[in-house]
Amino acid sequence: MALPARRLPSVLRVAGKSFEYPALRSCAGIGHRSFTATSKWRLRTKEMDEDMLKSLRVNRGRLMEDLHYTSQWGTGARWGEAPTETGMSRLALSDADKKARDWFVETTQALGCKTTVDAMGNIFAVRPGLRNDLPPTYAGSHLDTQPTGGRYDGVLGVTAGVEMLKVLADNWVETEYPVGVVNWTNEEGARFPISMVSSGVWAGSVPLETAHNLKEVLPGTKTMKEELRRIGYLGSTPASYEAMPMAAHFELHIEQGPLLEMSNKKIGVVKGVQAYKWFTVHIKGRDTHTGTTDLKSRADALLAASKMIVHSHRLATAHSALASTGILNLSPGSTNTVPGDVTFSLDIRSPSDATVTRMKQAILEDFQKIAAGEDVMGSNENCTSGLPLTVTITEDFSSPATLFDTDCITTVSSASHCVLGPNSNNLLMEMTSGAGHDSVYTSKRCPTSMIFVPCREGVSHNPEEFCKEEDCALGADVLLQSVIRFDRVRGERRVSWKQEPYTL
Amino acid sequence: MALPARRLPSVLRVAGKSFEYPALRSCAGIGHRSFTATSKWRLRTKEMDEDMLKSLRVNRGRLMEDLHYTSQWGTGARWGEAPTETGMSRLALSDADKKARDWFVETTQALGCKTTVDAMGNIFAVRPGLRNDLPPTYAGSHLDTQPTGGRYDGVLGVTAGVEMLKVLADNWVETEYPVGVVNWTNEEGARFPISMVSSGVWAGSVPLETAHNLKEVLPGTKTMKEELRRIGYLGSTPASYEAMPMAAHFELHIEQGPLLEMSNKKIGVVKGVQAYKWFTVHIKGRDTHTGTTDLKSRADALLAASKMIVHSHRLATAHSALASTGILNLSPGSTNTVPGDVTFSLDIRSPSDATVTRMKQAILEDFQKIAAGEDVMGSNENCTSGLPLTVTITEDFSSPATLFDTDCITTVSSASHCVLGPNSNNLLMEMTSGAGHDSVYTSKRCPTSMIFVPCREGVSHNPEEFCKEEDCALGADVLLQSVIRFDRVRGERRVSWKQEPYTL
């Protein structure tokens, strides 16, 4: 598409590299311009051609500076010599989180955004577009971290959103519709033990009262509401998709797994989030003395648990699924007492709901057999049969498979091809997220998809979590391009939407 | 052997059933008679015939009364309706233990014993014999219990020793040599974490300073010496087999295993204590997200630990030995994080030192293979190969097989046949103790053996630990008979002794 005469394409095509108009530069980022007052010096997203669009790129240095700058609040364990080589420990609604939030509000307001805080402390920073009667297209993620987390999980998504706002400001881009960045509260569930709780309230999936009354993990005793109030982020706007509607939600995140790195890819186009179920398995045997009880007179709950853990791995292998045990507690816990009581967690996942259901069935049946002393897939081979045990299996949580919006996926895919250039087919892969994200909840109420970037050895929730600057910037470019491209198309045609159709 | 004229066999043959001499009865138990001052009304053990000897039986009601009476100090969890249906929680050197000790000292002194407390708080109560220049023959065990223990473990041995003193007093029995009862300190190792520590000091196997400086388990901070002093049981006599020599040590104990009950036997003639080794196994993998890490990209320390625990059980089955894991800790401990760090205890036992050594070799080799991802006895069958892990195995404790003294074993065997009567061959079994006892340490310095009685379902270290009154009394009878029989023979012939020959 030819550029209208009133634009200055020769300048804007080298965006981020050279600015010929000092007067404009001095305005960029101060945030008090009204984008709807005049159309002079503005570039409408709809009027950009592909080259123009492509030329909009994030400032990598500035992005990394923001990311590392915010890491001063809640700095975690050091793992390397360089100043940035520490992890993060920024629990939701802590003093450190308040400072990061304040930075987010001040920075986005300075970029011309209006910020709204809802009843869950979710912060919506919205940059007006040409038409402000319809909901914004959002980039979003979270600023809270695990207690022994890294610098990238969540934080990259929010700082890339802020960088997007800076690029739009720098280049006088005027979007068709408003564009926003959202910081979701307590995504990690590390301090208040429900993950993604605040996007859950927004989506209507978690009752507000449940979330407000959620107590922090021991030894603390504060509720979310108390802490929201204490740090000044208990907003008056309802935490709801109705009060704060979204046209779309795009989330940039580190993969938190090894697939991109192992296959030398740069961008993951995320098509959905796999299904998962969490169980608590409780085995009851009998405490007996290790020295005086022969093998056949034992009801050894830990031996049974070990067989079940190995068996769950075999079932996962057979079903091309995942099975993991992250918690195991036993009683009484003495070197010379066979434990009579073991409780362990079991987390099963698959992109397919049907597979998760089949895995669950197999586990329910096979664990009973193992407890009763029967052989299942060789579990008793070369073993001595002991006394029977009892096992009870409780399903604690179930998250069905999430399929992201096809238009959003297409948008991310086009954006990735644009950013990655001629070799893009070799540098991107479609994938399913293994972990839950706020996008799982937004996807229930608006078109959503995600962008993954590789992280070193797939390590996450760990101080050594690391994503190369180059990859952070590529991901942020794809996020920027996705939001702009979505903004361009949403006015042109009805973007499909499966659950509660939106007026886009 | 014909009874000398100065005895009163017609009375003594019905010992415990009818006493014709009120004057004698009123003296019994007051403890201030000198047993060497006059020989009138006395029965010398050496002069008893088999019938006479056999007639000496414990008073079952009185024995149970003592056992339950002492349970008022440190009463544990209730498991039944009856007044005696509670467990025990009498940690070593606690206020409750002090009261039980005070009872022991007062009761044995009232029975004519001299009591000596050594530097480890071991209490030796000695009833004089005809010749007091040589060491006493002892019955011994312990009054401390596990925190969630029962009424019989240790306590039965001590109260049966006290009952033995009462029977001797009731019947005016005069032993050839002194006879004693010993209460060993902190046998359980539950409060101060070295089992049998005070008999270990006595035997010269544990340095006094190590034991004195031993700190109680967390969250406490007191040392053994501080607590010995606080409760008034830090004696001035050295804790040593040289200062407090023993001619022999007989210990009555519940089996703590199911073998006697399962085979309908009443008495276990214990020939020794099996060998055992304790290991700490530490597996280092990598913490990763359960949802984002495919099975082959994991270094799952808990999966590896589960394979090792199952494998140790297979090895134990193959070697007719025992392998048990009673403690397992993992890190970081979150439902959605694959644990990168697992530590577990491994306890291996066999009556044969050679078998324990072979088991150790196999474990050292096979655990390395399992950590490296190799298959060992089907450990990897139907599994997905993950990343290699590292494993380090530390041997924390090794106790070689203990063989009790053949003369003591023979003595217990004769005593059992006497007590059990015509059907004795069907009611006793020779066995090896699976658990350690103070007798392991005494056996290093004096002829030793043990007597086992059945306990319900082999349960011990549990409030529901239970031994029938009938069985308690049978065991106490065998203890009494063993001590008297040993006293009879030790003057007649040289009792063999393998390590440091004693003048008996």
Helical H segments across A14-134, by residue range: 22-27, 50-55, 60-70, 95-110
What pLDDT score was predicted for residue B492? 62
Residues 6+ apart with CB under 8 A from A46: A176, A488, A491, A492
Do the chains contact at A435 and B345, CB–CB below 8 Å?
no
Q: Please report whether residue A465 resides in a domain.
A: yes
Nearest Cα neighbor of B437 from B161, B210, B206, B141 is B141
Do B72 and B172 have their domain in common? Answer: yes
Please list the residues that pair with B114 across neighbouring strands: B126
In a domain, B497, yes or no: no
Closest-CA residue of A relative to B326 is A335
**Angle formed at CA B253 by CA B49 and CA B217, multiple of 5 degrees:** 150
Give the domain range for residue A40. Answer: 10-71+103-273+403-490
Subunit contact B316:A377, Cβ cutoff 8 A:
no
Domain match, B196 and B288 both: no
- The answer to whether B296 faces chain A, any CB pair under 8 Å, is no
Count of domains for chain A: 2
Lowest mean pLDDT among A1-5, A465-469, B46-50, B435-439: A1-5
Q: Would A191 be classed as within a structural domain? A: yes
Averaged over A245-265, what is the pLDDT? 96
**Residue B183 structure tokens:** 């209460």
* Same domain flag for B93 and B170: yes
Span A373-406, pLDDT tens digits: 999 999 999 999 999 999 999 998 888 999 999 9
What is the pLDDT at residue A12?
35
- Model confidence band, residue A335 (pLDDT cutoffs 50, 70, 90): confident
pLDDT digits (tens, 9 = 90+) for A276-326: 999 999 999 998 889 999 999 999 999 999 999 999 999 999 999 999 999
H/E/C letters for each residue in B360-428? HHHHHHHHHHHHHCCCCCCCCCCCCCCCCCEEEEEEEEEECCEECCHHHHHHHHHHHHHHHHHHHHHHE
Cβ–Cβ of B338/A324 closer than 8 Å? Answer: yes
With contact defined as beta carbons under 8 Å apart, do A183 and A123 qualify? yes
In this complex, is the C-beta atom of A254 within 8 Å of any C-beta atom belonging to chain B? no
Neighboring chain A residues of B89 at a CB cutoff of 8 Å: none
Whether B435 contacts chain A with CB within 8 A: yes
CB A125 within 8 A of CB A115: yes
Please, which pLDDT band fits residue A142 given cuts at 50, 70 and 90?
very high
Residues of A in contact with B276 (CB under 8 A): 291
Higher pLDDT, B108 or B5: B108
Instruction: Judge contact between B350 and B334, C-beta under 8 A.
Output: no
State whether residue B364 sits within 8 Å of chain A by CB.
Answer: no
Amino acid A300 reads D
Q: Nearest 5°: CA angle at A469, between A465 and A472?
A: 75
Same domain membership, residue B471 and residue B429: yes
Residue B355: CB partners within 8 Å, gap ≥ 6? Answer: B275, B319, B320, B321
Give the pair of three-digit tokens for residue B415: 């005593």
Q: Which residues of A touch B349 (CB under 8 A)?
A: 290-291
Distance, in Å, from the CA atom of A104 to the CA atom of A254, rounded to the nearest integer, reads 20
Could you tell me which residues come within 8 angstroms of residue B66 by beta carbon, excluding any fewer than 6 positions away? Answer: B107, B159, B162, B163
Q: Which residues of A touch B434 (CB under 8 A)?
A: 289-293
Taking all residues of chain B, what is their mean pLDDT, rounded to a whole number?
A: 89
Please count the residue pairs, one from chain A and one from chain B, whose beta carbons lie less than 8 angstroms apart.
228
3-state SS string over A398-464?
EECCEECCHHHHHHHHHHHHHHHHHHHHHHEEEEEECCCCHHHHHCCCCCEEEEEECCHHHCCCCCC
Residue with tokens 């940035």: A84
Residues B68 and B180 in one domain: yes
Contact B290 A322 (CB under 8 A): yes
Rounded distance, CA B301 to CA B287, Å?
9
Residue A4 touches chain B, beta carbons under 8 Å: no
User: Can you name the residues that pair with A395 across neighbouring β-strands?
Assistant: A279
Question: A142 exposed, middle or buried (CB, 10 Å; 0-12, 13-18, 19+)?
Answer: buried
Q: Which residue has the higher pLDDT, B312 or A10?
A: B312
Tell whether B187 and B302 lie within a shared domain. no
**Smallest Cβ distance to B302: which of A325, A334, A339?**
A325
Residue B469 structure tokens: 């009154």
What token pair was written down for B172? 């005016």
Instruction: Tell me how far apart the alpha carbons of residues A90 and A74 are, in angstroms, rounded to a whole number.
Output: 5
pLDDT tens column, B26-55:
333 333 344 444 444 578 888 888 888 999
Residue A373 shares a structural domain with residue A418: no
- In chain A, residues with a C-beta closer than 8 Å to the C-beta of B289 are 256-257, 434-435, 458, 460-461
Q: How far is CA A26 from CA A166, B302, B460, B467, in A?
A: 13, 58, 82, 91
Average pLDDT, chain A: 89
The reply to whether omega before A219 is within 30° of 0 (cis) is: yes
Using alpha carbons, select from B257, B260, B252, B254 the residue that is nearest to residue B458: B257
pLDDT greater than 60 at residue A7 = no
Question: Which of A291, A306, A382 minimises the CB distance to B309?
Answer: A306
Residue B293, min C-alpha distance to chain A (Å): 5
In a domain, B457, yes or no: yes
CA distance B360 to B395: 9
**Cβ contact A346:A279 at 8 Å:** yes
Shortest Cα distance from A384 to chain B (angstroms)? Answer: 6
The answer to whether residue B14 scores a pLDDT higher than 50 is no
| Predicted pLDDT at A493 | 52
Residue A475, in any domain of the structure? yes
CA distances from B411 to B129, B203, B490 (A): 19, 23, 11
Task: Give pLDDT, residue A41.
Answer: 54
Peptide bond preceding B258: is omega within 30 degrees of 0, i.e. cis? Answer: no
Give yes or no for a contact between A165 and A127, defined as CB atoms under 8 angstroms apart. yes
Tokens 């340490």, located at residue? B441
Above 80 in pLDDT, residue B18? no
Last residue of a domain, one of A399, A429, A462: A399
* Residue whose entry in the numeric block shows the structure tokens 């009879």: B488
C-alpha closest to that of A45 among A179, A244, A160: A179
Contacts with B318 from chain A: Cβ below 8 Å: 382
Residue B163: pLDDT over 90: yes
Residues B359 and B432 in one domain: no
Contacts of B6 (CB under 8 A, 6+ apart): B39, B40
pLDDT in tens, B370-397: 999 999 999 999 999 999 999 999 998 8
Taking CA atoms, what residue in B is nearest to A345? Answer: B335
Taking 70 as the threshold, does the pLDDT of residue B493 lie above it?
Answer: no
Residue B23 DSSP class: H
Question: Where is average pLDDT lowest: A66-80, B16-30, B232-246?
Answer: B16-30
- Comparing CA positions, the residue from B23, B20, B42 lying closest to residue B169 is B42
Q: What pLDDT score does A384 carry?
A: 96
Statement to judge: residues A242 and A285 lie in one domain: no
Mean pLDDT score, A114-123:
98
pLDDT for position A194: 87
pLDDT at A478: 98
Last residue of a domain, one of A351, A369, A399: A399
Q: Does B372 touch chain A (CB under 8 A)?
A: no
Amino acid of residue B269: V
Phi, psi of B408 (to 5 degrees): -65, -40
Same domain, A453 and A429: yes
Residues 6+ apart with CB under 8 A from B367: B281, B308, B311, B391, B393
Which CATH number fits the domain that encloses residue B437?
Answer: 3.40.630.10
Residues A162 and A178 in one domain: yes
A463 close to A149: Cβ distance less than 8 angstroms: yes
Give the separation between CA B453 and CA A119, rounded to whole angstroms. 68
Is the CB of residue A305 less than 8 Å away from at least one CB of chain B? yes
Q: What's the pLDDT at A492?
A: 63
pLDDT for A49 equals: 87
CB contact under 8 A, B382 and A337: no
Residue B229 has pLDDT above 50, yes or no: yes
Check A314 against B378: CB less than 8 A apart.
no
Count CB neighbours of B23 within 10 A.
7
Contact A289 B460 (CB under 8 A): yes
- The whole-number pLDDT of residue B42 equals 75
| Domain end residue (candidates: B382, B399, B416) | B399
* Dihedral-angle region of residue A443 (phi above 0 means left; psi in -120 to 50 means alpha; beta otherwise): alpha
Query: Does residue A476 register a pLDDT over 70?
Result: yes
Point out the least confidently predicted range of A47-51, A445-449, A468-472. A47-51
Best-predicted range by mean pLDDT (A217-221, A497-501, B484-488): B484-488
Residues in chain B with CB shorter than 8 Å from the CB of A310 are: 303, 306-307, 310, 379, 383
| Residue B366: pLDDT over 70 | yes
Is beta strand B328-331 parallel, antiparallel or unpaired with respect to B448-453? unpaired
Whole-number pLDDT of residue B461 = 86
Cross-chain residue pair B338–A330, CB shorter than 8 Å: no
Q: What angle, 0 to 180 degrees and rounded to 10, lies between the N-to-C axes of helices A155-170 and A95-110?
A: 20
Distance CA(A412)–CA(A435), nearest Å, equals: 19
Please, which pLDDT band fits residue A14 given cuts at 50, 70 and 90? very low
Q: Are residues A426 and A470 in the same domain?
A: yes
Inform me whether the pLDDT recorded for A497 exceeds 90.
no
Residue A494 has pLDDT above 90, yes or no: no
